[in-house]
Amino acid sequence: MSEPKKLYIKTYGCQMNVYDSERMAEALGGAGYVETATPDDADMILLNTCHIREKAAEKIYSELGRFRGLKTARPDLTIGVAGCVAQAEGEEIMRRQPMVDLVVGPQSYHRLPELEAKARSGEKALDTDFPAEDKFEHMPARPKAKRAPTAFLTVQEGCDKFCAFCVVPYTRGAEVSRPAARVLAEARDLVERGVREITLLGQNVNAYHGASDGGDWSLARLVRELARVDGLDRIRYTTSHPNDMEDDLIAAHGDEPKLMPYLHLPVQAGSDRILKAMNRKHTAEQYIRLIERIRAARPDILISGDFIVGFPGETDADFADTMALIRQVGYGTAYSFKYSARPGTPAAEKALVDPQVADARLQELQALLAEQQRATQESMVGRDVSVLFEKPGRQPGQMVGKSDYLHAVHVADDTIAKGDIRRVRITRSGTNSLAGTLVG
- If you average pLDDT over residues 230-240, what whole number do you get? 97
- Residue-wise pLDDT tens digits, 111-164: 898 999 999 999 998 988 776 556 667 666 666 778 899 999 999 998 999 999
Q: Say what the pLDDT of residue 110 is.
A: 84
- Above 80 in pLDDT, residue 224? yes
- Residue-wise pLDDT tens digits, 262-289: 999 999 999 999 999 999 999 999 999 9
CA atoms of 96 and 171, how far apart (whole Å): 20
- Above 70 in pLDDT, residue 406? yes
Q: Say what the pLDDT of residue 155 is.
A: 96
Mean pLDDT of the chain: 93
- Residue-wise pLDDT tens digits, 169-202: 888 888 999 999 999 999 999 999 999 999 999 9
- Above 80 in pLDDT, residue 51? no
- Residue-wise pLDDT tens digits, 64-120: 999 999 999 999 999 999 988 888 888 889 999 999 999 998 888 888 989 999 999
More confident residue, 156 or 56: 156
Query: What is the percentage of the chain residues whose pLDDT exceeds 90?
Result: 76
- Residue-wise pLDDT tens digits, 321-340: 999 999 999 999 999 999 99
pLDDT band per the 50, 70, 90 thresholds, residue 237: very high
Q: Say what the pLDDT of residue 131 is.
A: 64
- Above 90 in pLDDT, residue 2? no
Q: Long-range contact list for 390-394, CB < 8 A, 24+ apart?
A: 390/148, 390/149, 390/150, 390/418, 390/419, 391/418, 392/418
| Torsion sign, CA atoms 275, 280, 286, 291 | negative
